[in-house]
């Protein structure tokens, strides 16, 4: 079996790539110390994430839901991007076209310097008016009022995140699918490759003929389909790939 973690085989493909997409999941943020808030680490007071991150929970007790999100915001505010986040931010200038799609809501990609990020599940630092649908950025930790209210109409604000039972923003999903279908190479970083519809994006890229590069500590359902599979943390693997790419470009191999 060929070595699918062979950097030397990946380099000429990256050197020739015009359109590169990276799709990231919770794994890259876990390296920065961001908890997943689900599973065994998901207990807050006597509640699990699945009990609080729902429209029904917010309708029943918005103060409780906001208490939880305020606590999460305070935890996330202290976290910093890692080397994996920074490489992806750098790649926006390294390729003719680079797109970043993430399932993460923590804002670490933006903190690392990435722009025009497609956030499939929203962003915890954005608040949405329940009446008007307007968005505002808010980095106050802790929040000044609980629950927060819209400064324009006085209605309740909610976290601009996708809750259990809600659909993703269809425009963001459409853009993500289109970019995946149009790319030459897709990096799938720190994701279980299980959560839909994000898990369908690499398959769309595959069907269109793109090369898939998976970066994850453990095998996933995507692993058998990936052309390259690097086992390890994004904060270690992505800098290695980036350093190799810089070396290739320094030598001046033709695109």
For the annotated catalytic residues, the residue numbers are 121
* Pairing, β 97-102 against β 118-119: parallel
* Residue 125 backbone phi and psi in degrees, to 5: -90, 5
Q: How far apart are CA 172 and CA 177, in angstroms?
A: 9
DSSP state of 41: G
Residues forming beta bridges with residue 97, ordered by sequence position: 19
Residue 34 C-beta-side C-alpha neighbours within 13 Å: 24
The SS3 call for residue 68 is helix
The SS3 call for residue 7 is helix
Residues forming beta bridges with residue 214, ordered by sequence position: 188, 229
Instruction: List the 122-129 sheet strands across, edge first.
Output: 135-137, 122-129, 157-161
CA dihedral 33, 38, 42, 46 (to 10 degrees): 160
């Amino acid at each position: 079996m060929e070595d699918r973690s062979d950097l030397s085989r990946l380099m000429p493909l990256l050197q020739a790539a015009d359109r590169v997409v990276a799709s990231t999941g919770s794994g890259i943020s876990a390296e920065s110390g961001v908890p997943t808030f689900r599973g065994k680490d998901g207990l807050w007071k006597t509640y699990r994430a699945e009990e609080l991150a729902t429209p029904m929970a917010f309708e029943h007790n918005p103060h409780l839901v906001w208490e939880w999100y305020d606590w999460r915001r305070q935890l996330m505010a202290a976290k910093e991007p890692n080397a994996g986040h920074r490489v992806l931010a750098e790649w926006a200038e390294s390729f003719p076209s680079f797109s970043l799609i993430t399932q993460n809501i923590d804002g670490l990609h933006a903190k690392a310097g990435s722009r025009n990020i497609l956030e499939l599940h929203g962003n915890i630092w954005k608040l949405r008016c329940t009446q008007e649908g307007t968005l505002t950025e808010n980095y106050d930790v802790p929040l000044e009022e609980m629950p927060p209210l819209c400064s324009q109409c006085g209605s309740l604000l909610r976290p601009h995140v996708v809750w259990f039972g809600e659909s993703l923003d269809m425009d963001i999903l459409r853009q993500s699918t289109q970019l995946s279908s149009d790319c030459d190479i897709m990096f799938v970083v720190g994701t279980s490759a299980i959560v839909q519809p994000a898990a369908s994006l690499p398959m769309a890229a595959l069907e269109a003929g793109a090369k898939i590069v998976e970066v994850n500590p453990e095998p996933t359902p995507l692993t058998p389909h990936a052309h390259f599979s690097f086992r390890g943390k994004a904060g270690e693997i992505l800098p290695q790939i980036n350093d190799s790419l810089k070396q290739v470009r320094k030598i001046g191999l033709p695109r």
